[in-house]
Structure 1
Amino acid sequence: MLDEDQKSKIIGIISTPEFKNKVFLISTCQFLFNYYLKMYKNIKNTPEDIMYLIDGEYKLTLAEKKRILKAHRFGVVLDPLSLDIIHDPPPWDVQEQPTVDNTSHKIFRNVMLHSLRSDIKHQEKLLTPENWENFNHKKLIMKINTQSQLLKNMDIIHINRGIVTGYNEAFVIDEDTKNQLISEDPKNAEIIKPVLHGSDIKKHKINFSNNYLIFTKHGIDINKYPVIEKYLSKYKKNLQPKSKKVSKRQKGRSHRKYEWYEIQSTSLFYKDFEKPKIVYPTIAHHLMSVFDTRQYYLLDSCFMITCDDDEMLKVIDAIVSSELINYILQTSIEHINNRGLRFNKKYIEHIPIRRPSENIAKKLVNQKQKIVKGYEKLDENINIDIIRQIQKDEDILNKLVYKLYELQEPEIEFIKNYLAKLDIKYNTNLISQSK
């Protein structure tokens, strides 16, 4: 047990300039946690503010982890409370260290256990300001994932990429061509679908560019649609599947089993296009998701999320629209130069979702609807009052999500500061994202 004099010395030393630039090794953090957790398990009646039991497994509290890391960062192992719990002698010694003027003063130097010293010996990555931010991020993600479920682990969720035609010039048509094909044979309307490019999806809204897809899925009886067959035959050389041994000059699409008039994708999930769904472009600076009920089909520059529970899908739509989820994605996906992020399935399916109460779920969905309506008004008239109201509504949605994930003010401030830097770097703002 430390006496008051020792305590005051520790406090004084930690606040001295010698410790201002102290660093410790990120790769040893988990080792530290495991080491103390093992010791704590052998102590009876360990306080709940240090360790707790969940699903049959003991975990250190967030406060205790912070305490351990802070102590080691400043050259001490643990504070007096921990010493009382562990019943170990003080794990540091008092050593004399000469100063510039040849005087000496006492500092508490960390005396690492042999195993910890060995572990550190083989590490190279020191804690720089940049790495400290990464470390804070990892801790924050661990907390967010607690009591959350990843999208990929939700059986009711389905994430799929849009259709690969193999040759958009033939299969994607404009309004006039669509009208002409239908006027020649009304039956053609059965396989002509409104389709979105990634560039059609903006923040909280869709700017439909009046493009349509000739959806000749695998196995279609093309004899039922002679006008469509005749139209596609103009592009037949470019639509033929290539042979296995492809020459550079050979025209055609990827070597697969499909007829020349069929789209390249198998599109086994094509019925999902006609369900309520969340759609978003594959590449963007932020995840610009929109809840679609107009049965748009998608090209391969887009993705969609569908759900067996429409109400839950609306909740997920609200959550993924928040700055918290934006932060998670921004820190887990590499930027493609100045083009933004590539939101592939492997990243989206790792979004952690917490199931809210019925009351909170309603608030989330209603708030998202207010934001969508605000963007619709902004589309009609760019007005500063509308912009301010949208920002207020987005702020309310963000606060609801932060509360749902039980984040504290310092954590929220950390997220906001990180995203603010990105907004400056990529010059993004509410108006430019909505155009």
Structure 2
Amino acid sequence: MKNGHLSSSTGFDIIIGNPPYVEAKKLKSVSKYLKDYHVYSGTADLSIYFFERGVNLCKEFGIISYINTNKFFNTGYGKPLRSFILNNEIKQLINFEQVEVFEGVLVSSVIVNIKRNKPKTDNTFQYQKFYNLKHKDFITKFVDGFQKKQYYQQANLTNKEWSFSDNINLSVKSKIEAIATQLSMIEGVSIYRGVTTGFNPAFIIDNKKKRELIEQDVKNEPLIKPLLQGRNIRKWIYNKGNENLLFIPWHFPLNNNIEIKGNSDKAEICLKREYRVLFDHLFQYHNELSNRNKEETGIRYEWYALQRCAASYHEEFDRNEKIIWGLTADKWAFAYDSKQNYLPSNGYILTSNVVSIKYLLALLNSQILKYYFGFIGVMTAGGAYTLKHSTIQQLPIIVADNPKPIVDIVDQILSEKNIDPLADVSSKERILDKLICNLYQLSDDEIDIIFG
């Protein structure tokens, strides 16, 4: 053995395992050792490293057979692992997406067999996918699946996201990409994450508490922002909630003093003197707030301040219009906000200085971008969309020379939904999708593929 690698003539013929899943944030104590791995990523879970270790412990032509979470298919941290696997020969891959393999346990996982051997250019491997199955249905489907063997070309996979699509769907994807631009490259468009409190009970208050704080001291009013949770957000619109955010930035009320670089006793004294009602409200949570992130609370910022206050971009929440969505959503849904709502850390906003917000909203809510998400996105084990910043910014956007026809229909949809949130706007959505399909120059056959 040399540097943790066995020679090609020694090592194991086969390694069978179920690597442990431990989140990256719990690996800080061992991260310096993990950085030696080719598959290293600062956000990778522990199971990722077992693939490289397993292959390196095999002799040449030896095989690892793992059952593991399939999150590495479509995550940024999975890219180094995808590259590593593709430098070896995939023999078999069984993908379980939202499947009750064991009764009452919904999982998204994969069984993968990898041979320690440089793959041939024409290598194919046995591939099965089982999707959205209850336990009783899975047993039957699993047996049937192995009687009808399917194969996939390894050459169709790159270190980009693995969707295991057929050649027809890959062709549609490539066409969309060829004529569109990633959202992250569109001039004037920005995506921001919501605010992190570190302890919600101190900072998230209901309308009754809001009224009390304002009645006791009117100076509190500008610090209380309307707050939307992901559960409030629907397609096009949102349901108004009963929650508000106490927006207390670092070093408040001296937050505009650029000379303050860390925790400020002076700021705390000033808060207690000038905002006594607010101070008393926060002080009842002093212990909980002080015990937040120990590496920062009381060091970088005061115990009473938000953990992450969007210091460099909180003004973006106060824009006259923006697009909002939650990190996880049971339906494909982006909403229009013109009421300066704030979002928590599991929500996102999109602002634009050039392209119409309502035009971008139409594209985001379109069937085309929902279809494209299937290639690059991650679903939760329960079947919800994971709408991360890094995923949304990859969506392919075409900026129309004349966006007005699309914006006009969005205005009609928003008008109807604001009058009646349950209004049926499906006919207008079909018109929008048709206009957007024309924008992406899709043929009738390609449209049929996208709409299934």
TM over 0.5: yes
Letter of the aligned partner of 1:184 in structure 2?
Q
- The yes-or-no answer on 1:322 pairing with 2:366 is yes
Q: CA deviation at 1:190?
A: 1.5
Taking only the aligned residue pairs, the percentage that are identical comes to 25
Letter of the aligned partner of 1:300 in structure 2?
S
Instruction: Tell me the equivalent position of 2:436.
Output: 401
Return the alpha-carbon distance in structure 2 between the equivalents of residues 227 and 203 of structure 1.
39
Return the alpha-carbon distance in structure 1 between the equivalents of residues 188 and 346 of structure 2.
24
Q: CA deviation at 1:241?
A: 4.4
After superposition, residues 172-321 of structure 1 pair within 5 angstroms as 172-221=204-253, 222-223=271-272, 224-242=274-292, 257-267=300-310, 268-275=312-319, 276-309=321-354, 311-321=355-365
Q: Deviation digits for residues 375-415 of structure 1, max 9, x if unmatched?
A: 33443xx6xxx52xx11101000001000000111111111
Q: CA deviation at 1:307?
A: 1.2
Q: CA deviation at 1:198?
A: 0.7
Return the alpha-carbon distance in structure 1 between the equivalents of residues 391 and 298 of structure 2.
28
Letter of the aligned partner of 1:330 in structure 2?
G
Return the alpha-carbon distance in structure 1 between the equivalents of residues 293 and 334 of structure 2.
39
Instruction: Tell me the equivalent position of 2:202.
Output: 170
Return the alpha-carbon distance in structure 1 between the equivalents of residues 344 and 337 of structure 2.
15
Return the alpha-carbon distance in structure 2 between the equivalents of residues 118 and 172 of structure 1.
57
- SS in structure 1 at match of 2:376: coil
Contact 1:241–1:255 under 8 Å retained in 2: no
Instruction: Tell me the equivalent position of 2:191.
Output: 159
Instruction: Tell me the equivalent position of 1:74.
Output: none
Q: CA deviation at 1:138?
A: 2.2
Provide structure 1 residue ranges, at least 5 long, that are not aligned to the other structure.
1-116, 246-252, 418-435
Contact 1:194–1:211 under 8 Å retained in 2: yes
Moved more, 126-135 or 156-165: 126-135
Q: CA deviation at 1:315?
A: 1.4
Contact 1:195–1:298 under 8 Å retained in 2: yes
Contact 2:327–2:386 under 8 Å retained in 1: yes
Contact 2:377–2:386 under 8 Å retained in 1: yes
CA 1:228 to 1:339, structure 2 compared with 1: closer, same or farther past 3 Å? farther
Q: CA deviation at 1:123?
A: 4.6
Contact 2:213–2:278 under 8 Å retained in 1: yes
1:374 to 391, 394, 416: 416
Return the alpha-carbon distance in structure 1 between the equivalents of residues 369 and 293 of structure 2.
44
Q: Deviation digits for residues 108-138 of structure 1, max 9, x if unmatched?
A: xxxxxxxxx9632x45367948888443332
CA 1:220 to 1:254, structure 2 compared with 1: closer, same or farther past 3 Å? closer
Return the alpha-carbon distance in structure 1 between the equivalents of residues 221 and 432 of structure 2.
40
- SS in structure 2 at match of 1:295: coil
Q: Of Structure 1 and Structure 2, which has the larger fraction of its residues in helix?
A: 1
Return the alpha-carbon distance in structure 2 between the equivalents of residues 207 and 260 of structure 1.
32
Return the alpha-carbon distance in structure 1 between the equivalents of residues 242 and 293 of structure 2.
35
Return the alpha-carbon distance in structure 2 between the equivalents of residues 285 and 324 of structure 1.
18
Contact 2:124–2:152 under 8 Å retained in 1: no
Contact 1:280–1:287 under 8 Å retained in 2: no
Return the alpha-carbon distance in structure 2 between the equivalents of residues 318 and 149 of structure 1.
16
- SS in structure 2 at match of 1:219: coil
Q: Deviation digits for residues 257-298 of structure 1, max 9, x if unmatched?
A: 221110000412100000121001111133311121110111
**Cα RMSD for the two superposed structures:** 2.5
Return the alpha-carbon distance in structure 2 between the equivalents of residues 368 and 274 of structure 1.
22
Provide structure 2 residue ranges, at least 5 long, that are not aligned to the other structure.
1-118, 128-148, 154-163, 254-270
1:362 to 398, 401, 404: 404
Contact 1:319–1:364 under 8 Å retained in 2: no
Return the alpha-carbon distance in structure 1 between the equivalents of residues 339 and 443 of structure 2.
39
Return the alpha-carbon distance in structure 2 between the equivalents of residues 376 and 300 of structure 1.
26
Return the alpha-carbon distance in structure 2 between the equivalents of residues 413 and 257 of structure 1.
55
Return the alpha-carbon distance in structure 1 between the equivalents of residues 307 and 401 of structure 2.
43
Contact 2:371–2:450 under 8 Å retained in 1: yes
- The yes-or-no answer on 1:349 pairing with 2:393 is yes
Contact 1:284–1:339 under 8 Å retained in 2: no
Return the alpha-carbon distance in structure 2 between the equivalents of residues 372 and 128 of structure 1.
45
- The yes-or-no answer on 1:145 pairing with 2:177 is yes
Instruction: Tell me the equivalent position of 1:55.
Output: none
Contact 1:319–1:325 under 8 Å retained in 2: yes
Return the alpha-carbon distance in structure 1 between the equivalents of residues 335 and 309 of structure 2.
25
Contact 1:287–1:343 under 8 Å retained in 2: no
Q: CA deviation at 1:300?
A: 1.4
